[in-house]
Amino acid sequence: MSSTSTGVRAAVRGRAPAWRRRQALAAWLFALPFTLLFAAFMVGPLLASVGLSLTDMTSRDLRTPLAVRFVGLGNFVELAGDETFVRAIGNTVYFVGVGVPLTVAVALLLALALNNGINRFRSLFRVGFYTPVVTSIVAIAVVWKYILEPDGLLNQGLGAIGIGGPDWLNDTRFAMPSLILLAMWRNMGTLMIIFLAGLQGLPADVYEAARMDGANALQRFRSLTLPLLRPTLLLGCVLISVYYFQFFEEAFVMTEGGPLESTLSITYFTYNEFGYGNYGYASAASYVLAIAIGLVTLVQFRLLREKG
């Protein structure tokens, strides 16, 4: 009986129902495992972190959840007055503001060089520059810490050409640049590959025409490559910024956020507050980071789309 009634309903709507409904059912069965895990461990926590950031929850409340109080934007107000947090924002902006342009520039240089008549050893270069990307930051940070010791490899090398290197990681002026250098080394390979793919997609005939018109290499780069590569550059900038905004592991291993909090990032601050048991406060801090990441991504899309 039910089958005739649905059949009639479907006939009225003018659809082929049975196979379609069976396919929809199968589709949802396919989607179910992922969707459940995704809801429980990604969407849920993301929404919960908004809620949590508006409460005063601490580790003690894990057992007595009813004691949690709603504090509105109290955590955010407190963050704004928290000297350490303001410091962490400044440090993160420093890391992103210097690290992103540097990494993008180096990766673009490498990609341009490899795309300009490097036929021999081409894949050797590609693989070589890419290797740091696959390594664990923690493991590699240990190696860099060893290299950056006051009498480590770098300072020995500098000493050989008559330069007295500083105590890189224990000097407030040099600690952050050291971490940025490590990040550049670790991540330039990703961007290089992306930029290379972009460069290889550029139309050869346009370059031929420009060359016929007597445009030199610099002119071709400025008025052809840069504008044509804009979408790829944008993608690279966004990816690397999102990543750099979260920096943490390098500092955790190499400087523990020091010296004098000069390498304490927002993620590090969040982790510390979590460690002290201030869950609401930590969530609020992490939300500031999430919002910053969202905004910067938007701005970059705007900027790189409008110009040119």
Partner 1 sequence: MSRTTVAPAPTAAAPAPPPTVQEAGRRRRRLAVRDRWYLYVPLLLALAATVLPFAWMVSGAFKPQSEILSGEVRLLPQDGTLRNFRDLFTRVDFGHYLFNSAVVAVAVVLGNLLFCSMLGYALSKLDFPGRRVLFALVMTMLMVPTVVTFVPLFVLVTKMGLANTYGALILPFLATPLGVFIMRQFIAGIPDSLIEAARLDGAGEFRIFFTLVLPLSGPALATLAILQFLSSWNEFLWPLVAAQTEDMYTLPVAIALISASANSVNYGLLLAGATVVVLPVLGLFLLLQRYFVQGISTTGLK
Site for partner 1 in 162-201 (CB under 8 A): 185, 190, 193-194, 196-197, 200
Q: How far is the CB of 298 from partner 1 (least distance, A)?
A: 12
Nearest distance from C-beta of residue 212 to partner 1, angstroms? 21
Token duo for residue 143: 């190696």
Per DSSP, 66 falls in state G
Is 216 a binder of partner 1 (CB under 8 A)? no
The residues in 85-144 that bind partner 1, with binding defined as CB under 8 A, are 110, 113-114, 116-140, 142-144
Stretch that binds partner 1, among 3-11, 220-228, 274-282, 300-308 (CB under 8 A): 274-282
Does position 224 bind partner 1 by CB under 8 A?
Answer: no
- 234 touches 261 (CB < 8 A): no
Q: Which of 75, 178, 286, 300 binds partner 1 (CB under 8 A)?
A: 286
Q: From the list 6, 84, 156, 219, which residue makes contact with partner 1 (rule: CB under 8 A)?
A: 156
Q: How far apart are CA 118 and CA 248, in angstroms?
A: 36
3-state secondary structure of 266: helix
- 145 part of the interface to partner 1, by CB under 8 A: yes
| Closer CB to partner 1, 4 or 263, in the complex | 263
Select from 28, 60, 217, 227 the one that contacts partner 1 (CB under 8 A).
28
CA distance 306 to 85: 34
Binding flag, residue 10, partner 1 (CB under 8 A):
no
Other beta carbons within 10 angstroms of residue 169's beta carbon come to 22
Q: Could you give the CA distance from residue 220 to residue 199 in angstroms, rounded to a whole number?
A: 13
In degrees to the nearest 10, what's the CA dihedral of 156, 158, 161, 162? -90
Total residues in contact with partner 1, by rule CB under 8 A: 96
Residue 70 binds partner 1, judged by CB under 8 A = no
DSSP state string for 27-54? HHHHHHHHHHHHIIIIIHHHHHHHHHHT
Distance separating alpha carbons of residues 232 and 151, to the nearest angstrom: 41
Among 8, 11, 30, 203, binds partner 1 (CB under 8 A): 30
Kindly state whether residue 11 participates in binding partner 1, applying the rule CB under 8 A: no
